[in-house]
Structure 1
Amino acid sequence: MAITRYAALLRGINVGGHKKVPMARLRPLVEGLGLTDVRTYLQSGNVTFAADRGDEASLAREVADALAGEFGFPVDVLVREHTYLKAVRDACPFPAADLAGKQLHVTYFSEPVPVERFAAVDAAAFAPEDFRLGDRALYLYAPAGLGTSKLAVQLNRPALTKGLIATSRNWNTVVKLVEWTEGA
């Protein structure tokens, strides 16, 4: 089987002192699964690796099970291969090259989201903030950053994300994950 490069996106770790997953412990944990070329990015739960087996879903289960066993709490994990990460980056509907990384975010979803789910969100009411849906992703333009975004709060309501794993990354991280998963 060919070697494929992936990124695992861990949801809700190392936030406000909860669900601590030190990257120094995450790397050997992922390597212990037989995955290679393991790298972590920042403290926000991003790990890239190469695998010669499995698919996104089975690798996400493996990483999630290993995390639960090691740390004693569940962690939602999305695994995405390089081709998908690159397609998300390339399909950005906002002028990413003209924006600071903190102004643009991607929320990755565990499955495709019907447009109808977000139809009731009146983006114009939050201007200049804006959002667009993509392939298992939502792009958010928040010119003042995510921390003050009223649109981000609206988009993260439980009714809109029900039944999904959803985890967001700023544009700098989106780009770095594409770079780190290039080549196998």
Structure 2
Amino acid sequence: MEENNRQVALLRGINVGRAKRVAMADLRKLLADLGYGDVRTVLNSGNAVFQAGSVPPATSATRIEEALVLKLGVAARVTVLSASQFAELMAQNTLAPGYDPARLLALVLNRPADTARLAPLLGQPWQPEALAVGSWAAYAWCPDGVLASKVVAALGLLLGDGVTSRNWATMQKIDGLLNGSATAA
């Protein structure tokens, strides 16, 4: 896959609990039916890597959101990043690799301009948790788990459905698939 044609789609809230169930085979077919090529999914939580041709990421997100409702009956926010944007997101995480990737979250922003809204949170004392912000995501260290995290709760209140989160281990798997060092799941 050529780097400038690849995109990553992150579907918010897919296959969490009993709601919004989407089989990854159905997601791959949906993306292929939309004209995307070399579609691969990562894990069972709504992560896909694909070739998009000349379609911009924002257009891909809208197309995928609409098709999810029309074809699968599932309403979910979709965040799409180009391969280069995803690479920036990975590189900008100042909390990695110093923390356990299962308790380190990347909270990917649906609207990158929302990073400005996060400025007040950066000055707060979160210890033992930690917060960092990049161009495409906020990064949260959650030593006591995500459900107990004050940082994640604050980000959720501020951003609502304008953010979708993945732990760092999942982000590394997506990055490996983008870079050809991992296989699809």
Report the TM-score range of the alignment, normalised by the length of the smaller protein.
0.7 to 0.9
Once superposed, what is the RMSD of the aligned Cα atoms?
2.0
How far does the alpha carbon of each residue in 1:8-35 deviate from its partner, in whole angstroms, 9 at most, with x for none? 0000111110011111211111111111
1:88 matches 2:86: no
Q: Is the 8 A contact 1:5 1:182 kept in 2?
A: no
Count residues in correspondence: 177
Q: Which runs of 4+ in 1 moved over 6 A?
A: none
Q: Is the 8 A contact 1:8 1:47 kept in 2?
A: yes
Q: Which residue of 2 aligns with 1:34?
A: 35
The farther-off stretch of 9-18 and 145-154 is 145-154
- Give the TM-score, by structure 2 length: 0.86
Partners of 2:41 and 2:31 in 1: how far apart?
10
Any gaps of 5 or more consecutive residues in structure 1?
Answer: none
Any gaps of 5 or more consecutive residues in structure 2?
Answer: 181-185
Q: Which residue of 1 aligns with 2:128?
A: 128
Q: Which residue of 1 aligns with 2:183?
A: none
How far does the alpha carbon of each residue in 1:104-153 deviate from its partner, in whole angstroms, 9 at most, with x for none? 111111222244545157631x3110112210310111123313323211
Percent sequence identity is 32
Query: Kindly tell me: are residues 180 and 107 of structure 1, through their superposed partners in 2, closer, same or farther at Cα, counting changes over 3 Å?
Result: same
Query: Kindly tell me: are residues 50 and 133 of structure 1, through their superposed partners in 2, closer, same or farther at Cα, counting changes over 3 Å?
Result: same
Query: Kindly tell me: are residues 165 and 116 of structure 1, through their superposed partners in 2, closer, same or farther at Cα, counting changes over 3 Å?
Result: closer
Partners of 1:47 and 1:120 in 2: how far apart?
30
Q: Which residue of 2 aligns with 1:155?
A: 155
How far does the alpha carbon of each residue in 1:53-85 deviate from its partner, in whole angstroms, 9 at most, with x for none? 210111111111111111223211011011111
1:180 matches 2:177: yes
Letter aligned with residue 178 of structure 2 = T
